């Protein structure tokens, strides 16, 4: 039994290490007065990234990007997580669907 279990534990350990090593980098974006801060974020190519979006406005906003294939409503005074990538190099605009005239930004993948 031990002979069977030891390699399995080793495999599980390897998986755990791999997932720990693969923890995506975290980037924060704030929404204030229907504007994104920062409005340009730079991320590495072919890497998954975790976006933490804090909506500091009292009104809800919808983070939307056709190029990133992402959309999510963020209630007023609350936060949301969106995973993006891995992506090839390029420019990926995003906007706030509820206030699109001001809430504009882009992800630069390099």
Positions that interact with other proteins (CB under 8 A):
24, 48, 50, 52, 58-60, 62, 66-67, 69-70, 72-76, 78-86, 88, 97-98, 100-101
Minimum CB distance to other proteins smaller for 29 or for 84: 84
How far apart (Å, rounded) are the C-alpha atoms in residues 62 and 82? 12
Q: Please enumerate in sequence order all residues whose Cβ is within 8 A of that of 91, keeping only pairs 6 or more positions apart, or say none.
A: 67, 106, 107, 108, 109
3-state DSSP call for residue 86?
coil
CB of 31 to other proteins, least distance (A): 12
CB of 59 to other proteins, least distance (A): 4
Minimum CB distance to other proteins smaller for 35 or for 98: 98
CB of 6 to other proteins, least distance (A): 29
Structural contact between residues 59 and 76, judged by C-beta atoms closer than 8 angstroms: yes
């Amino acid at each position: 039994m031990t002979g069977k279990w030891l390699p399995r534990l080793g495999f599980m350990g390897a998986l755990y290490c791999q997932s720990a090593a693969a923890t995506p980098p975290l980037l924060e974006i704030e929404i204030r007065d229907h504007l994104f801060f920062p409005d340009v974020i730079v991320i590495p190519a072919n890497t998954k990234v975790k976006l933490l979006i804090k909506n500091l406005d009292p009104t809800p906003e919808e983070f939307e990007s056709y190029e990133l294939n992402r959309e999510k409503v963020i209630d007023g005074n609350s936060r949301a997580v969106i995973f993006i990538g891995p992506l090839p190099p390029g420019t990926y605009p995003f906007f706030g669907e509820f206030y699109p005239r001001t809430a504009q930004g882009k992800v630069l993948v390099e």
